[in-house]
Structure 1
């Protein structure tokens, strides 16, 4: 667009500040300038788009396209800052899903995964706590021990653990990410995993005070 159009919408009293901001962005390498016979035209350098997004919303989980930030969707009982971030293995329609993992603010530690694409929340996975025997995490560890023991197993074999655990591909990835993060599994790469000697906590929820 033209230089003039890029500064439209600013008050007359702020014209000086707009011109300075334009010059600063050009100096810092954000703007690509093209001089034509009918004036100066400007665009954003493609390699600076991520920096522009960070300026517009400094939170790395911020959404785009006028949607509310993903952190607004995080359960208020959970830490808005993820302790672990991962990305989907495959790109679908040019987009790769982002997985953020959040811990409960109160103990015993529970975990929720939020799956998003370009900052938009699309799926929540309640992984639960290693202290809860019926949680996705605890059941996954128990059944991995029963089915695979100490042998290496492929990610695809996780479907053998039962639909109540895996559900679909998203819970499988979330479970694997967290089990590796907490050292219940070793990631052997190439889609293979192996159990460590780490055991589930023996304490139950009744051993923790709610106060």
Structure 2
């Protein structure tokens, strides 16, 4: 399983074989860091899944790079959590990646509160483009996607060919349930975003995230007033 594996150097047979041979989340992470070494990053939003993955990654590669897309619009609770995680995992390289435009520059160019009248463009400027820049330096990235999260994620595999960013996308937690995530956090006494205790299962930017009333839809609080379910990072 250790042959060269980049977006442009694999076919369907490699994809099928890998996803059959990789047995569980730790197997996936060990394989990923052995193969890609410093050519892989974890793009983390510091939600509950993110906390679990950071803890698991630290066991495999304590000096791994974790990228946080700092839109300047996150909840204060999210920024506070990141500082606590930096203290808990001191060897980890947590990189705060900012968009090319400041909020003031975005307002000057596109008008005030872009997220209210064109959230897709706002996400493109403040999340998609910055991640695209980060991924231009690596061959693969790790994501905390779980199949249970939404219908659009139910076919996610451990190893995926990411057509959006032309990279290999690795998702170790695809088979985990929400209960699995919280059992791990509780058993290991991990810090987490206190907004999870206030009916926020999925936490993004403060302006575009509401508490969830429908417990069967983890992402129903994201862009609740729009026909929008993803920020653009996880398109097929």
Give TM-score, length-normalised by structure 2.
0.23
Q: Which has the larger radius of gyration?
A: 1
Higher helix share: 2
Give TM-score, length-normalised by structure 1.
0.24
Greater RCO (Cα-Cα under 8 Å, separation 6 or more): 2
Higher strand share: 1
